[in-house]
Amino acid sequence: MSVRVRVLLHANFRETVGKREIIEEINSNSTLRDILDKLAQKYGRDFKQIVDPGTGAISLEFLVSINGRIMRDANVKLNNDDVLILSIPVGGG
pLDDT tens digits, residue range 31-51?
Answer: 999 999 999 999 998 898 999
Reading phi first (left if > 0) and then psi (alpha if -120 to 50, else beta), residue 68 is in left
Q: Is residue 13 part of a domain?
A: yes
Residues contacting 93, CB < 8 A, separation 6+ = none
Domain count of the chain? Answer: 1
Q: What is the CATH number of the domain that holds 75?
A: 3.10.20.30
Q: Is the pLDDT of residue 25 over 80?
A: yes
Q: Is residue 74 part of a domain?
A: yes
Query: pTM, whole model, 2 decimals?
Result: 0.92
